[in-house]
Amino acid sequence: MEWTQSETIALASLTCTTCHGSGQRVMRDGSSCPCNCVLRAVFRACYARFRYCIFRERNVSRATLEQTHMGGRRITWGRKDEEYLADFYLVSRRSLGHMEWRVFCYHYLLGADWKLCAKRLGLDRGTFFHVVYRLQHRLGRVFKELQPYALFPIDEYFQGRTHNTAEEGGPIKVVPFRKGSLSRRLQVPIRKAA
């Protein structure tokens, strides 16, 4: 997937000593790739939205109807907050290695500070933060490049249209809400005081 400079420059850190604010790194073979400061910014934005979706008021979550980009009678519904929470959690779990996932759970979900994490995982301070940066880079890239629905940019995830493969002109397939399905919230293992 191509990262354009107009995307990376808006996310880059002006104090980054690698890209000097351009957001692009030039590799040895001449190709360019997003700088790690950009990947960290993507991760931080997605993580902030994840926390926002979890801690907002319970009754705010609601189902929304969406037209698909194919138009016609194709309409689908979804609960975007819950979908985002599930995507963030499951994509992270699938993308991280064993140690990275443990650090992610302790530090980002359960809210333990670096001292508690390092003691629990048997890591020194330098190794702990090395793992933290590595998982941020990995997840930042995955969240942006995920197909078909990337988690970043966040506004496109929430405002974009869902692909519905129902045939044009065919009968509308109605999928009823299951009893109680709209009042249940996804339970994600996270500590509020993180």
What residues make contact with Zn ion under the rule CB under 5 A? Answer: 16, 18-19, 35, 37
Q: Work out how close the CB of 111 gets to Zn ion at its nearest, in angstroms, rounded to a whole number.
A: 28
Q: Work out how close the CB of 130 gets to Zn ion at its nearest, in angstroms, rounded to a whole number.
A: 17
How many Cβ atoms sit within 10 Å of the Cβ of residue 99?
Answer: 15
Amino acid sitting at position 26: V
Q: Work out how close the CB of 33 gets to Zn ion at its nearest, in angstroms, rounded to a whole number.
A: 11
Cβ nearer to Zn ion, comparing 22 with 76: 22
Cβ nearer to Zn ion, comparing 16 with 121: 16
Q: Work out how close the CB of 7 gets to Zn ion at its nearest, in angstroms, rounded to a whole number.
A: 13
Q: Work out how close the CB of 73 gets to Zn ion at its nearest, in angstroms, rounded to a whole number.
A: 47
How far is Cα 94 from Cα 76, in angstroms, rounded to an integer?
27
Cβ nearer to Zn ion, comparing 37 with 117: 37
Cβ nearer to Zn ion, comparing 40 with 49: 40
How far the first Cα of the chain sits from its last, in Å, is: 33
Cβ nearer to Zn ion, comparing 24 with 92: 24
